[in-house]
Amino acid sequence: MSATSHQKRDDLLTALALTELSVHYEQANPELANRAWQLAADRLIEYDIQPSEIAAELEIGESLPPGEWHR
């Protein structure tokens, strides 16, 4: 795997974790959840990937139900 591939995978893993955090903390801490969502989106823009496509890009099972991907 090239350095570029590693960087993309790292960015997608980070975006996935931030998206999960955003969903799980939306009620408890909306400000934190919103910031996590924005950070995730920033990483995805570079690769032109939607949050719902992260799992497929990483070749893993879906972590969030499809209805949870949209804000």
Long-range contacts of 15-23 (CB under 8 A, 24+ apart): 15/39, 15/40, 15/41, 15/43, 15/44, 15/51, 15/54, 16/40, 16/54, 16/55, 16/58, 16/63, 18/43, 19/51, 19/54, 19/64, 19/69, 20/63, 20/64, 22/71, 23/64, 23/68
pTM of the model: 0.73
**Domain range enclosing 61:** 3-68
Give the pLDDT confidence of 1-57 residue by residue, as tens digits.
Answer: 787 889 999 999 999 999 999 999 999 999 999 999 999 999 999 888 887 888 888
Domain count, the chain: 1
